[in-house]
Amino acid sequence: MPTEDTTTSSSGLDVNMLLAELEVPFSPDQVQWRVTNTTTDKKRGQVVPYADPRAYTDRLNALFTPQGWTREYKVETMTNITRVKKGEAIVSGKVLVTCTVTVMGLGSHSGTGEEWADDDNGMTSADAQALKRACSCFGLGRYFYDIPAVWVDLDQNRQPLRTPALSAWALPENWRKGMRPSGKSGNGKGNPTNQGIGSNGGRNGNHGQAAKSPTQPKDGGGNVHAQAAKSNGSAASGSGHDLDARILGLEKAVGTALFRGILREYGRVNQPKLIRDAATKRKVLQMLESATRGLDRLDAVTQRLDANTVKGLLDKLQVPPLNEIADIKTLQNVVLGLEELAGLSPTHGA
């Protein structure tokens, strides 16, 4: 009678079992929430979940023992970079950290982190980013990319008044029972486009008033997202490395906040090289190209309106300043709303 094949590591451990355990979500008491965007009045903020680096090392120690894995850091610096801090332009630099995590029997993965050198905790933050991104390549903490950002009320210190509730699938006991985020199968693989704008797993279900744009053309003529969905342009082809380069090349065009927001929403990652399949890379590239067109329209319409009119719409939609928009749905709502105020047709500038 044939026996079932079992993949084992060089130490005799069941690789599939270990990888499955690495993917299990952290305990809810290890999950914290970070504010990434705020409304103009600072009373509401968009938050995303994360875990302290110690939660990652605890999981690795529990599964492999402290002797069963290692991490190595490489630190680089960039100097003479101008940044705006508290309304003033200052000359600073950046700390760039690469962390390589090696697990006995599973191999090695690297991740990168970066932070401004003048920030008090810049090195610590960059180290943590690099470690977590390396671990996500093994599946550890990767589920955070499937949790959409949510808008919550903030206190006077700009911290959440109440901790958002985690979805049932993001609890360890339910994950082990086979529960997964909407659009994903039991093996953790799914269609990322099912998690995009307008789906149950997407952001606009948690975006409050920002989801209620003054105009929503049914034919999609002025819809930034619809244009991307129908696009057959430059995002349609290219190898993995070529797609990575083209994606990275658009960061400056769309700005860091929107660039990272699109990567997170459509690729479930913070850097394109972590996306495993070419189809998802093309989707991310497609959305970034759509964002550049939306920003062109935004630039054109804001030149036709006074600053108070623009601010009034942003306050009404409860969205952050224009240069802090971090998702394409918000960009779409702002563009359509401003174009309506300017008396432009939905397809103007498309």
pLDDT digits (tens, 9 = 90+) for 154-166: 999 889 998 888 9
Q: Are residues 248 and 342 in the same domain?
A: yes
Q: Are residues 58 and 114 in the same domain?
A: yes
Q: What angle do CA 36, 39, 40 make, to 5 degrees?
A: 125
Question: Does residue 5 belong to any structural domain of this protein?
Answer: no
> Which has more confidence, 219 or 51?
51
Longest dimension (CA), the chain: 79
Confidence grade of residue 315 (pLDDT, cut at 50, 70, 90): confident
Contact present, 195 and 181 (Cβ < 8 Å): yes
Owning domain of residue 20 = 10-188
Give the end of a domain, one of 150, 172, 188: 188
Burial 188-202 (b: 16+ CB within 10 A, else e): bebebbebbbebebb
Write phi, then psi, for 91 (nearest 5 degrees): -90, 120
CB < 8 Å & 24+ apart, contacts of 31-36: 31/166, 33/160, 33/163, 33/164, 35/154, 35/158, 35/159, 35/160, 36/149, 36/326
Q: Are residues 81 and 162 in the same domain?
A: yes
Give the end of a domain, one of 154, 188, 222: 188
Q: Are residues 125 and 240 in the same domain?
A: no
pLDDT tens by residue, 250-304:
988 898 889 998 998 888 888 888 888 888 998 899 999 989 888 988 988 888 8
Q: Which of 182, 174, 135 is nearest to 19 (CA)?
A: 135
Q: Are residues 175 and 207 in the same domain?
A: no
Q: Are residues 163 and 279 in the same domain?
A: no
- How many helices (H) and strands (E) the chain has is answered by 11, 6
Residue by residue, DSSP assigns 152-211 as EEB-TTS-BSSPPPPPGGGSHHHHHTT---TTB-TTS-B-GGGGSTTSTTSSGGG-GGGG
Question: Does residue 3 belong to any structural domain of this protein?
Answer: no
- Residue 104 scores a pLDDT above 60: yes
Query: Mean pLDDT over residues 339-347, rounded?
Result: 69
Question: Does residue 119 belong to any structural domain of this protein?
Answer: yes
> Domain holding 148: CATH number?
3.30.390.80
Write phi, then psi, for 183 (nearest 5 degrees): 95, -5
Question: Does residue 267 belong to any structural domain of this protein?
Answer: yes
Q: What is the pTM of this model?
A: 0.54
> Which has more confidence, 87 or 290?
290
For residues 297 and 81, what is the distance between their CA atoms, to the nearest angstrom? 29
Give the end of a domain, one of 188, 218, 253: 188
Question: Does residue 202 belong to any structural domain of this protein?
Answer: yes
Contact present, 326 and 207 (Cβ < 8 Å): no
pLDDT tens by residue, 182-212:
755 544 444 333 333 333 333 333 333 333 3
The answer to which of 196-210, 233-247, 312-326 has the lowest mean pLDDT is: 196-210
Question: Does residue 337 belong to any structural domain of this protein?
Answer: yes
Q: Are residues 289 and 313 in the same domain?
A: yes
Question: Does residue 2 belong to any structural domain of this protein?
Answer: no
> Which has more confidence, 191 or 14?
14
Q: Are residues 151 and 258 in the same domain?
A: no
pLDDT at 270: 83
Q: Are residues 170 and 23 in the same domain?
A: yes
Number of domains making up the chain: 2
Q: Considering the chain, what is the average pLDDT of its residues?
A: 79
- Which H or E element spans position 22? helix 15-23
pLDDT at 5: 43
74 Cβ contact list (under 8 Å, min separation 6): 97, 98, 99, 100
Contact present, 324 and 330 (Cβ < 8 Å): no
Q: Are residues 201 and 348 in the same domain?
A: yes
Confidence grade of residue 333 (pLDDT, cut at 50, 70, 90): confident
Query: Mean pLDDT over residues 33-44, rounded?
Result: 88
Write phi, then psi, for 234 (nearest 5 degrees): -65, -15
DSSP 340: H
Confidence grade of residue 13 (pLDDT, cut at 50, 70, 90): low
pLDDT at 299: 87
Contact present, 59 and 140 (Cβ < 8 Å): yes
Q: Which of 73, 133, 71, 58 is nearest to 102 (CA)?
A: 71
Confidence grade of residue 312 (pLDDT, cut at 50, 70, 90): confident
Q: Are residues 152 and 236 in the same domain?
A: no
Question: Does residue 4 belong to any structural domain of this protein?
Answer: no
- According to DSSP H, which parts of 214-319 are helical? 224-230, 240-248, 251-254, 256-262, 278-302, 307-317
Q: Are residues 316 and 229 in the same domain?
A: yes
Alpha carbon of residue 247 to chain centroid? 14
For residues 149 and 157, what is the distance between their CA atoms, to the nearest angstrom? 20
> Which has more confidence, 101 or 222?
101
